[in-house]
Amino acid sequence: MKPTAIANSNPETHWHALKNDGAKALEELYHLYANPLYNYGAKFTSDKELIRDCIQSLFVTLWTRRSYLKQPDNVKNYLFKAFRLSIFKKASLLNKHERYEETEHYHFNAAINFEEKLIREENQLALQQRIQASLDQLSARQREAIFLKFYEGLSYEEIAEIMGISVKGSYKLMARAIDGLREQLDISDFSFLLLLLYAKFFN
Amino acid sequence: MKRKPNLNPENYTLPDLLDDPAFLAWLLHPDDQSNAHWADMQLRYPNLSYLIADARKLVLTLKFQQDTMEPAEYIQLWEEIAGETVAKPIVKLWRSLWFKAVLAAAVTLLVIGTGFYFYLNRSIEVVTAYGQTRTLVLPDGSELMLNANSSLRYRGNFGKAKYREVWLKGEAFFKVNHIHRQGKVFKQDIFVVHADKVDIKVLGTTFNVNDRRDKVTVALINGRVSMQIANQPLLNLKPGDLVTYDQKRNFIRQEPGSTKAQVAWKDGIFIFEKLPAEELFNKLQDKYGYKAVFKSPVVKEKLISGSFSAADFDHLLEGISMALNISITKDESLHQLIIEIK
């Protein structure tokens, strides 16, 4: 499946149809977002049943509360945000006395790799390992921000909304993540990583 | 660990190219100057164009590890969501627990019902050995006596089906319970005896049926009996009638007044009226299983009359041998009766 960086089919139309008891619209939204949500959820936890449960309750809630829900500015953001909150609750990722917006104590397992057939040389494998090691040095929040930015192709505003932080906070978070990677990598590796990330985004 | 850059572009490998900050800068922020530079480089070093293509490919295949549902999981998850939301109850009827429970119950009932039906319809067979008679009471209250070497079969739901039906091989004396009182005769009122190709239909009478040696003989004591013989027209019998159907010759013989001898067996008596010895010994074989071997064929023609007790086979043979003035030797091992003139 190709990453749905920007959903081509218009989710806002589906949402509108959903409000008018459009059963088909709910299914369309499922086909658009079930896999991206699952992929996102899998970064937080390895409990696949829990991820599926969260997706299920998300869509069921969407249907049962459709007449009360406001049309969100961005349907994908709305779903990712609600899904992330649901994952945190169901997986008990939040410690006591910890605010959802500020928590650092969770896992975000964003492994980076090349397609296997292209790892022909030891050097490339070594490069991949260096990049992965640098990502591992980041905090979960920083990794998540990188994932949302470069994998899901979201803007700082969107990242802020999903992660429950301010827009300013999301810029800061990303800047710290990039700084962290720069510290870990030498200049050529870092450039290469940036290249890879941006290339991913623009392709 | 930092590798030493290979400074000669002619010998560049892919990692060398990727390690070249100028190359990365060009890919990240291409401008006229860098475009011209790398176009010139590719002209001067043709191997570079392949490397650059490879590098692009490498860039494009980098990915965050992607976690996806199995296709089956993906479909099942939607079905679960649909089941709680958009699916109409009728659509998910076959999947609902209630429907399954009802279906299971229905199937169970059907199986039990079918089993019970076959149990009710099971065939019941009563068989008598040589020399043995048995008295039976059928479920409708009808009584019958089954002669030796005979069998009677009827269904388990006897009396509840449309006819009261029995299948007879050998000989039996029937006292059929009269159910019909007045008015229209329903099928349940009719009692049917199937004896080979003959159907004997009665309402409630006393009669004897003998079905042996391809001959069916019906002796009516009282009441009325209808005989349906193969494809022949229905034959109505009056009390005292004795009708024999010879199946081999397809021949019907109706004679009055000799039913007494026919039914005497039920009282443990043989009554013979000018009966040829050959037929007598056939009767004995049917009842006791001993085959007659005539050492002197003339004996076959002898006629016997009289009443004999059947209570004891040896005494019976003794009486017969005296009446016909012959010698009868019983061979136990071969189950034969050796018959000679004295």
Give the mean pLDDT of A55-75: 86
> pLDDT tens, A145-159?
988 887 777 888 889
Write down the pLDDT at residue A82: 93
Write down the pLDDT at residue B286: 86
Domain ranges in chain A are 11-90, 116-202
Name chain A contacts of B82, Cβ cutoff 8 Å: 26-27
Name chain A contacts of B17, Cβ cutoff 8 Å: none
Q: Determine the CATH number of domain B123-263.
A: 2.60.120.1440
Helix residue ranges, H only, chain B:
14-19, 21-28, 32-44, 47-61, 71-84, 97-120, 259-263, 277-288, 313-324
In this prediction, the residues of chain B whose per-residue pLDDT falls under 50 are: 1-4, 90-91
Structure confidence at residue A84 as a pLDDT band (50, 70, 90): very high
Domain A11-90 part of CATH 2.60.40? no
Q: Determine the CATH number of domain B268-341.
A: 3.55.50.30
- C-alpha–C-alpha distance, residues A190 and B73, integer Å: 38
Residue A5 pLDDT greater than 50, yes or no: no
Domain ranges in chain B are 9-61, 71-120, 123-263, 268-341
Q: Give yes or no for B338 touching A (CB within 8 A).
A: no
Give the mean pLDDT of A22-27: 84
- C-alpha–C-alpha distance, residues B285 and B179, integer Å: 37
Write down the pLDDT at residue B255: 73
Element (H, E) at A52: helix A48-64
Output the CA–CA distances (angstroms, integers) from residue B123 to A100, A181, B112, in the order listed: 79, 90, 18
Taking the CA atoms of B319, B320, B323 and B328 in sequence, report the sign of the dihedral they define. Answer: negative
The phi-psi region of residue A25 (left if phi > 0; otherwise alpha if psi is between -120 and 50; otherwise beta) is: alpha
Residue A38 pLDDT greater than 90, yes or no: yes
Write down the pLDDT at residue B21: 67
Contact (CB, 8 A) for B132 and B151: no
- C-alpha–C-alpha distance, residues B320 and B326, integer Å: 8
Structure confidence at residue A174 as a pLDDT band (50, 70, 90): confident
Write down the pLDDT at residue A202: 47
> pLDDT tens, B60-104?
555 677 888 988 889 899 988 888 888 755 445 556 677 778 888
Q: Which of residues 18-77 of B touch A (CB under 8 A)?
A: 18-21, 24-25, 27-28, 57-69, 73-74, 77
- C-alpha–C-alpha distance, residues A49 and A43, integer Å: 14
Write down the pLDDT at residue B90: 46
Structure confidence at residue A3 as a pLDDT band (50, 70, 90): very low
Q: Determine the CATH number of domain A116-202.
A: 1.10.10.10
Write down the pLDDT at residue B161: 63
Give A70 to chain B, closest Cα distance, Å. 19
pTM: predicted TM-score of the whole model, two decimal places: 0.45
Write down the pLDDT at residue A203: 40
